[in-house]
Amino acid sequence: MREYLKELIVTLVIAFVLSMVLRTWIIEGRSVPTGSMLPTIQLKDRLLVNKLVYHFKDPQRGDIMVFRPPDQIGATDDFVKRLIAVPGDKVEIKKGQLYINDKVQPESYLTAAMNYEFGPVVVPANSYFVMGDNRNNSFDSHLWGAWLTRDHLIGKAFCIYWPFDHVQALKR
C-alpha cells in the first residue's frame, strides 16, 4: 500500500508539472468574453492557443491572435482579434472595404460592410494592425490610436474546442 501511495503521488506531481509547463509555454485554453469576432468565434467559445508559434515564425495576415492590449488603451483583459496588417503595410478602409497596400482584401468571413472610414496609415516596424471580424462592433486597431507591438503577443488561436457543436479549426 505504501509503495502504491508513493507511486500515485509521484504520478500526480509529474502530471501537475507537465500540465503547468504545457499551459505556461506551449498551449493554453482561452474563453472569448465578447462578440467582437462574430461570426467566426461566438461569445463564450473556448479556444486553443499555440503560445510557441510566434517564437519561431512571424505572424501572418489572417492569423487569429490572442494578445495583451496596448498599454495606452487602458484595457486589462487579453484580446482575440484577426491580424490584418504587418509591419510596412499600408492600411485603409473606404466605402466599406479594407485595402492593404492599395489592394481590396477579400474577407469572406465578414457578414457586414464596415460603416466607417480609416487611414491610410502605414504599420510601423515591430507592430501589427488587428481587427475583430464583427467590424462595426469591435474595439480594435482602427480605434486605439496605438499600435499592437510584438511583445504583447500571447499566441495564435488555432481551434475552437467548446461548445462541442461548434468545434472547428480556425482558418485565415
What are the residue numbers of the active site?
36, 81
Strand ranges for the chain from DSSP E: 27-31, 46-50, 64-67, 79-85, 90-94, 97-100, 103-104, 118-122, 127-131, 148-149, 153-162, 168-169
Count Cβ atoms below 10 Å from residue 67 Cβ, excluding itself: 22
Quick check: 141 and 93 in contact, CB under 8 A? no
- Residue 134 carries which side chain, given as an amino acid letter? N
43: nearest Cα among 32, 52, 54 = 32
- CB of 48 closer than 8 Å to CB of 29: yes
